[in-house]
Chains A and B, each alone.
Chain A
Amino acid sequence: MKHLTDDELQRYLDSPAAGRNSRMAAHLQTCSRCRHELETYRKLFGLLKSAPETSLSPHVQEEVMRCIEGSPMQRRVSMEGVLFALAVLAGMGIFAYFVVSGAVSLAWSVSPATSTAGTKLLAGLRALTPAALRTPSVFVLALVAPALLYGVDKLFLQKMMKREA
Chain B
Amino acid sequence: MLNGKMRSGIERNAAEHALVQRVLHGERDAFREIIAQYQKLVYHIVYRLVSDETDREELCQEIFIRVYENLAAFKFQAKLSTWIGRIAYNACINFFKKKRLPIAAPLDREGTAGAETTTGHGMRIDDIGCTPEHLPDAAAEKAELYACLEREIARLPVPYRALITLFHLEEMSLKEIAGVMSLPEGTIKSYLFRARKLLKSRLLTTFAAEDIQ
Which residues of A are interface residues toward B (Cβ below 8 A)? 6-7, 10, 36, 39-41, 43-52, 54-57, 60-61, 63-65, 67-68, 71-74, 76-77, 158-159, 161-162, 165
A56-B169 in contact given A68-B65, A165-B73 (Cβ < 8 Å)? no
| Known contacts A61-B36, A73-B72; 9 further A-B pairs (Cβ under 8 A) | A6-B193, A41-B196, A50-B146, A57-B57, A72-B69, A73-B70, A77-B72, A161-B70, A162-B73
The A-contacting residues of B in range 33-83, CB under 8 angstroms, are 35-36, 39-40, 42-44, 47-48, 57, 60-61, 64-66, 68-75
**Is B155 part of the binding interface, using a Cβ–Cβ cutoff of 8 Å?**
no
The docked-state distance in angstroms from the alpha carbon of A60 to that of B60 is 8
A48-B168 in contact given A6-B197, A61-B39, A65-B28 (Cβ < 8 Å)? yes
A47-B212 in contact given A71-B69, A73-B72, A165-B70 (Cβ < 8 Å)? yes
> What string of 1s and 0s marks CB contacts (under 8 Å) between B77-118 and chain A?
000000000110010000000000000000000000000000
Query: A122 CB to closest chain B CB, in angstroms?
Result: 42
Interface size on B, as a range, is 35 or more
Chain A: CB-nearest residue to B65:
A67
The docked-state distance in angstroms from the alpha carbon of A74 to that of B31 is 13
Chain B residues near A161 (CB-CB < 8 A): 69-70, 73
The docked-state distance in angstroms from the alpha carbon of A6 to that of B199 is 12
A43-B169 in contact given A55-B43, A77-B24, A77-B72 (Cβ < 8 Å)? no
**Is B205 part of the binding interface, using a Cβ–Cβ cutoff of 8 Å?**
no
Complex partner residue of A76 from B72, B149, B196, CB under 8 angstroms: B72
A73-B212 in contact given A7-B193, A57-B57 (Cβ < 8 Å)? no
The reply to whether A165 and B42 form a contact with Cβ atoms under 8 Å apart is no
The reply to whether A47 and B145 form a contact with Cβ atoms under 8 Å apart is yes
Chain A: CB-nearest residue to B24:
A77
Chain A: CB-nearest residue to B170:
A51
Complex partner residue of B26 from A45, A51, A63, A74, CB under 8 angstroms: A74
The docked-state distance in angstroms from the alpha carbon of A60 to that of B178 is 28
Query: A58 CB to closest chain B CB, in angstroms?
Result: 10
The reply to whether B168 and A45 form a contact with Cβ atoms under 8 Å apart is yes
Query: B206 CB to closest chain A CB, in angstroms?
Result: 13
The docked-state distance in angstroms from the alpha carbon of A84 to that of B72 is 16
Complex partner residue of A65 from B31, B42, B43, CB under 8 angstroms: B31
